[in-house]
Amino acid sequence: MTKKFIFTVITLAMLASVFVYAQASAQTLCPWDVRFDAVYDGDVCSYRLSDKISACADQAEQREFYSGARQKMHLYCRLLQMGLPFDAICNYILPDFMSVVRHFEYVEQTRRDARVNFSAKGFEYEREQNGVHIDVRKLFETALTSRGKTININLPVVTDQAVTVRQLKQNTVLKASFSTSFNAANANRTYNIRKAVASINGTTVQAGQTFSFNDTVGERTLQTGYKNAKVILNGNYADGVGGGVCQVSTTLYNALLLAEFLPQAVAHSLVSSYVKAGFDAMVSYGAADLTFTNDSEFPVYIAAHVYDGVVRFDIYGKPNKYFVERVSSEKRDKFQTVVVNDPVKYPQLVYADQTQIITPGSDGVESKSYLNYYADGKLVKTLLIRANKYKRVDMVVARGTLPRENDLLP
């Protein structure tokens, strides 16, 4: 190894040391410089204030480019107090700072809350997605602390928590169910009940919204597809279009009561056979309606079913605060049976053992309806919700008059 070679190596080493020292001194002598590498999942975006100020050197003093970190922070606070846009403040103090934020735009995610879709088929849930946003304020304030030395900053992000499916399910619980029975052999009445139930099944009543039975089910006419069946009309039983629909409204009415709502309803003139006196709900399009307002802060969902001579309503929503019990007191005036012998009007009734019910009987009833509210098995309050008086209708039975021949034998 020659002396010349050794000298060259020593010289190069000295020059390298000088270069490193000069570089370190440059950073030490530039405490005003803001230098950082923003890092996210291996992706790096670098920023150097000293590389950005050439285009606006004439504003250096005004914008305090050569001030220390403390002075820059004071300027930042003053501009914030003036109400200036945050992005503009960042770019004013650190030119092109927002380019770093734009570099990481792909990190941003819009929050999407879980959703519930309710229909006649039941509940379906769409999963949530949390929002993700860059904490630009924290990134900027951290960058100002560099004091001329390059610092690594893990890109600060904030999570915007979305409403989860689990949270939705906590407020889509079964609040109450109620069912009544009917004669499934009565084809027209069964048809009308099924049709009305299908109109309501899958209904969502939003918070603050008022539900109307008539608006939901629509007018009951032959043109809208309803059929003739027995109805209560002017205090008597008669054939009418839509017979059976009042049993649907009555069943829904009771389900809503048990779900802690207080629906507005009209009583029939005659007591119903399928529910306690004082708990019926008569509907007639344009005249009498069943309504309730969802006064909770969450939607209410109404499911309805018809099966084996039973109509049932299920009410879903925020869990009940109380267990609700229906109670009624009543005073009955029993109907009488009146027998009519009229061979001219009822020629088909010949013999005394042949009868036909002309008018069904119905007791006269005076009733009061209450709701008992229980918490932890203890009665908390009792609420009188209705006082009703139902008309008495005597049963009318037509009968033949002639005895059978066998009845004449000794």
Burial 242-269 (b: 16+ CB within 10 A, else e): bbbbbbbbbbbbbbbbbbbbebebbbbb
**What pLDDT was estimated at residue 66?**
94
Across the chain, mean pLDDT equals 90
Same domain, residue pair 162 and 178? no
Q: Do 343 and 401 contact (CB within 8 A), yes or no?
A: yes
Which letter does DSSP use for residue 155 in this model? Answer: P
Q: How far apart are CA 214 and CA 217, in angstroms?
A: 5
Identify the band that residue 278 occupies on the pLDDT scale cut at 50, 70 and 90.
very high
Same domain, residue pair 186 and 302? yes
Nearest alpha-carbon partner for 177 in 365, 325, 316: 316
Whether 19 shows a pLDDT value over 50: the answer reads: no
Identify the band that residue 13 occupies on the pLDDT scale cut at 50, 70 and 90.
very low
Q: How many domains does the chain have?
A: 3
Whether 22 shows a pLDDT value over 50: the answer reads: no
Domain stop point among 166, 198, 226 = 166
pTM above 0.95, yes or no: no
Same domain, residue pair 79 and 137? yes
Instruction: Express each pLDDT in 294-310 by its tens digit.
Output: 999 999 999 999 999 99
Q: State the amino acid at position 386 in one-letter form.
A: R
Instruction: Express each pLDDT in 328-372 by its tens digit.
Output: 999 999 999 999 998 889 999 999 999 999 888 999 999 999 999
Give the pair of three-digit tokens for residue 285: 């399009």
Same domain, residue pair 231 and 120? no
Same domain, residue pair 100 and 249? no
Domain stop point among 166, 201, 216 = 166
Q: What phi, psi does 388 have (nearest 5°)? A: -130, 155
Instruction: Express each pLDDT in 31-81 by its tens digit.
Output: 999 999 999 999 999 999 999 998 888 898 889 999 999 999 999 999 999
Q: How far apart are CA 41 and CA 150, in angstroms?
A: 19
Same domain, residue pair 152 and 237? no
**What pLDDT was estimated at residue 56?**
86
Q: Which of 64-78, 140-154, 192-206, 230-244 has the lowest mean pLDDT?
A: 230-244
Q: Do 240 and 228 contact (CB within 8 A), yes or no?
A: yes
Identify the band that residue 239 occupies on the pLDDT scale cut at 50, 70 and 90.
confident
Instruction: Express each pLDDT in 81-124 by its tens digit.
Output: 999 999 999 999 999 999 999 999 999 999 999 999 999 999 99
Q: How far apart are CA 131 and CA 113, in angstroms?
A: 9
Same domain, residue pair 297 and 217? yes
Q: Give me the helices (H) in 267-374, please.
A: none
**Structural domain containing residue 19:** 1-28
Same domain, residue pair 113 and 226? no
Which letter does DSSP use for residue 106 in this model? Answer: G
Instruction: Give the burial class of 270: count Cβ atoms within 10 A of its Cβ; 0-12 exposed, 13-18 middle, 19 or more buried.
Output: buried
Q: Do 263 and 187 contact (CB within 8 A), yes or no?
A: no
Q: How far apart are CA 165 and CA 115, in angstroms?
A: 7
Residue 310 or residue 238, greater confidence:
310
Identify the band that residue 150 occupies on the pLDDT scale cut at 50, 70 and 90.
very high
Same domain, residue pair 24 and 94? no
**What pLDDT was estimated at residue 235?**
59
**What pLDDT was estimated at residue 166?**
93
Whether 311 shows a pLDDT value over 70: the answer reads: yes
Percent of the chain with pLDDT over 90: 80
Whether 195 shows a pLDDT value over 80: the answer reads: yes
Same domain, residue pair 220 and 146? no
Q: Which of 10-14, 89-93, 205-209, 339-343 has the lowest mean pLDDT?
A: 10-14
Same domain, residue pair 86 and 213? no
**What pLDDT was estimated at residue 407?**
58
**What pLDDT was estimated at residue 241?**
86
Identify the band that residue 23 occupies on the pLDDT scale cut at 50, 70 and 90.
very low
Instruction: Express each pLDDT in 244-257 by its tens digit.
Output: 999 999 999 999 99
Strand-pair category, 337-340 with 300-307: unpaired
Percent of the chain with pLDDT over 70: 90
Residues whose CB is less than 8 angstroms from the CB of residue 304 and which lie 6 or more positions away in sequence, other chains included: 197, 198, 200, 201, 248, 252, 311, 312, 313, 314
**What pLDDT was estimated at residue 209?**
97
Instruction: Express each pLDDT in 121-145 by its tens digit.
Output: 999 999 999 999 999 999 999 999 9
Same domain, residue pair 233 and 129? no
Domain stop point among 142, 166, 190 = 166
